[in-house]
Structure 1
Amino acid sequence: MTISKRLKQESLEPYKKRKYNSIDPYKSYIKKRYEETLPKQIPSSVILREISEYGYTGKIRILQTYLSTLRNNIKQDAGFPKAKNIESFDFSATNVDEMQIRELLSLDFISKAENILMVGASGVGKTHLATAIGLKAVQNRIKTKFISLSDLMLAQLR
């Protein structure tokens, strides 16, 4: 109900309290299953079948909404400006070394405790590539933080 419709009501009845969400008791199990299957995404129909065996009687849409929230939280915690993947990057439009980027996507630099610093002119795809590499790390359950140079410098000044 919109605010204007609510104000037009002759008698303002109190809002009804939010109904108990039938998925609440299963959230810890769903989150655990979701994280176990990363970097792949477990289909919601599989989780629905599993939690139905434990007594869940809700609809799949409620489950899908919760799974969507889990996916978004992981990405938001990393601080990516926008979700970008490597498939949408046009290597032919830049002089970026595709083999080097594919090597970075293997995430070997993380086990070697190396950092990535991307330098270049505006519009060549630094943010796109950094985000794609970061999302790959997130999908592999590696704690990730995206930060621009200007934000890093501001943080150091504080």
Structure 2
Amino acid sequence: MSREEHVDGLDAALVRLRRLWSAPRSSIKDDGIPVDMSSILVVEACARAAEAGQDSTIRDIAAFTDTEHSTASRLVDKAAKVGLVQREPSSSDARRTRVVLTDSGRRTRERATDFRLTWLTRVLRHWPTGDVEHLAELLTRFADEVDLQGPPGREPERPDA
């Protein structure tokens, strides 16, 4: 098979995998109420920033969700409306607002993570450990490259890209 045929196969597989982001809304719930995937992404962005010892701003959430600032602001509003996050003044810059997880947001993140890991474990249960390790390494490498390149249609951050 040629490189182009492999790339074509990769494209086809990625299109088929879109269902990973369209799980039934009833899959992850907060106090019995289904949680939107967009709110899960806001929660994840805030949690990752907190784990890195950083504040999460609308700008950060826009970058994480690959959306415009105004769209990210609406996503935060939606997540705040159901009690997953709250807006607070930034301690480092009075002009900025930080977005922080609530206790409900932290519980929802735990449930979402557990849901994904349980599902992945089930899907990969018959795979040899070495194959799972190799897949994780390659997908991480691919994700890192996508982060450098940016989404389709955007100028790459690396000059050699």
Structure 2 length as normaliser, TM-score?
0.23
Greater relative CO, 1 or 2 (CA 8 Å, sep 6+) = 1
Q: Which has more helix, going by share of residues?
A: 2
Q: Which has more strand, going by share of residues?
A: 2
User: Which entry has the higher C-alpha Rg, 1 or 2?
Assistant: 1
Structure 1 length as normaliser, TM-score?
0.24
